Structure 1
C-alpha cells in the first residue's frame, strides 16, 4: 500500500476535522509551525498543505491572524460575473477559445467539498484558454456538479462559453470569489504564451444556483493583459 505524502496527510487531517464538524466555519486551524511539529515535517510541507486547501476555497488566510475554515455557504459577490466573450467583443476584439481538456474525473476531497458532492464521486472538469485577437487572455479550469449540468461534456465550448451554458441550465444566484496575484507555473506560462514568469491574476470562484453549488473555477490571466473592475451601488 502506497503511503500518502506528508502534505497530503496534513490536508486529509484538516478535511476530516471539517467533515466531522470539529472545526466549524471561521474556526482557526493549526498554524504552519503547529502542523510541522505535529506531523514531524518542515514548515514548507505544512505551508503547501495549507496553501492548496486555501486555493481550493476550503480555508481562508488572514495576514497576521492565521488560517481559518472558509465559509461553505453561499455568499453574495461584490464582483459582477460577466461572460468573457462579451467583454472581449465589447472592447471591439475578436473572441476565440481553445479547449484543452473536457472530461469526467473522480472528485478528491477538496473538490468534493467545494462542489458539495460526495468524495470520490464523478464530477466534470474542463480546461480552456480564452483568446482576444488570437492572443491568450485567460486560462479557465472549471469543476462542475454533474447533477446540475448533466450535458456539460457534450457542449462545444468554442461556440459558447461554460458561463453561458451554465447560466442557461442552472441560472446563477450567488457566488464567492478569492482574488490574488500568483506566479504561474511552466504549464500556465505555455498556455498563456508567457516567456517569463510574469505575475498573473488568479480568481477562485464558486457559483450557486437556487438548488445548489454549480461549479468551482480557477481563472488565471496575465497581469499585463487583464484587470478586474466593478461598479457598486449602496442604498441608504
Structure 2
C-alpha cells in the first residue's frame, strides 16, 4: 500500500461541509488519480486542511467507506479500495459512444421532458420525500436509424439541481450525468418484460413483444441521484457482465 501524491482537495461550496469534503476526496478516486491501495491523509491532516472538526471529517470518510470507495483501518489509516469497478454488475457507459465504437451511427430523440412531484413510488426509489421535484425525461436511442432502446429517467433535483437548466434536446441526460455528477455506486435490476402499447410504438415493435428491461439507480455521496428504466427489444440487445472473486 502506497502513499498517494499531493492532491488539490478543492471544496465546491455547495451544501453542508461534510458533503463538500466527501466530494473533494471522492473526485480523485473516481477519476483514477488516486489508485487502489493509496493511503489517504489522516483524519487530523484533513481537519487541518479543511479547518473543521474531527466529527465532520469522520462523517465524510464514513460516507466514502459506505459507498465502497475506501477501506478504513483503525490503526493503519484510510486507503482507496481495491477493484472499485468490480463492485458494479455492469459498467455505466455513454450509450452513444458505445454504439459509435461498434462502427454504427448513433441517433437520439427527446420525446418528453417535464418537472414532476415525486409520488410514493418515486419517493421510495430515490429516497426523497413525497412532493420533491424530480426531472422526468423520456427519450429514444437509435442505432443506424433503428430504435434501440427507450429511456425513462427521473433525476433527483436536490442531488443534481443543474439538471433543471438542461433542455436535453441534443444529448441524452445520461451523457450529461456522466460528465457532471461523478457516481459512486450503481444498482441494476434486469427483467424480461412484454412491450406495452406505448413502448411498442416508440420501439417500432408489436405490443406484447419480448423486451429486456434494465432498472438502474445511481448514487453519489450516499445520495440517490437518478432512477432510470432502459427498455430494449428482446432480439436486439444483450448484456455482458464481467465478474471477479470478492476481495
The TM-score, its normalising length taken from structure 1, stands at: 0.64
1:138 alignment partner, one of 149, 155, 160 = 149
Q: How far did residue 186 of structure 1 move?
A: 0.4
| Secondary structure, aligned partner of 2:176 | helix
Distance in 1 between residues matched to 2:207 and 2:160, nearest whole Å: 37
Distance in 1 between residues matched to 2:158 and 2:131, nearest whole Å: 15
Q: How far did residue 114 of structure 1 move?
A: 1.0
Aligned to 1:234: 245
Aligned to 2:182: 171
Instruction: Specify whether residues 134 and 158 from structure 1 end up closer, same or farther in structure 2 by C-alpha distance, changes over 3 A only.
Output: farther
| Secondary structure, aligned partner of 2:112 | strand
Q: How far did residue 156 of structure 1 move?
A: 4.4
Aligned to 1:213: 224
Aligned to 1:119: 130
Size of the aligned set, in residue pairs, is 164
Q: How far did residue 213 of structure 1 move?
A: 0.6
Aligned to 1:25: none
Q: Give unmatched runs, 5+ long, in structure 2.
A: 1-65, 69-86
Aligned to 2:89: 78
Instruction: Specify whether residues 212 and 88 from structure 1 end up closer, same or farther in structure 2 by C-alpha distance, changes over 3 A only.
Output: same
Distance in 2 between residues matched to 1:120 and 1:80, nearest whole Å: 31
Distance in 1 between residues matched to 2:169 and 2:238, nearest whole Å: 23
Q: How far did residue 158 of structure 1 move?
A: 4.5
1:124-156, Cα deviation, whole Å (9 max, x unpaired): 100001011111100000010101222324324
| Secondary structure, aligned partner of 1:190 | helix
Kindly report which structure 2 residues correspond to 1:13-162, keeping only aligned pairs within 5 A, or say none: 76-162=87-173
Distance in 2 between residues matched to 1:184 and 1:216, nearest whole Å: 20
1:17-47, Cα deviation, whole Å (9 max, x unpaired): xxxxxxxxxxxxxxxxxxxxxxxxxxxxxxx
Work out whether residues 103 and 153 of structure 1, in 8 Å CA contact, stay in contact via their aligned partners in 2.
Answer: no
The structure 1 segments of at least 4 consecutive aligned residues displaced by more than 6 Å after TM superposition are none
Instruction: Specify whether residues 96 and 158 from structure 1 end up closer, same or farther in structure 2 by C-alpha distance, changes over 3 A only.
Output: farther
Distance in 1 between residues matched to 2:175 and 2:221, nearest whole Å: 17
Distance in 2 between residues matched to 1:231 and 1:115, nearest whole Å: 27
Instruction: Specify whether residues 128 and 156 from structure 1 end up closer, same or farther in structure 2 by C-alpha distance, changes over 3 A only.
Output: same
Work out whether residues 102 and 153 of structure 1, in 8 Å CA contact, stay in contact via their aligned partners in 2.
Answer: no
Work out whether residues 171 and 209 of structure 1, in 8 Å CA contact, stay in contact via their aligned partners in 2.
Answer: yes
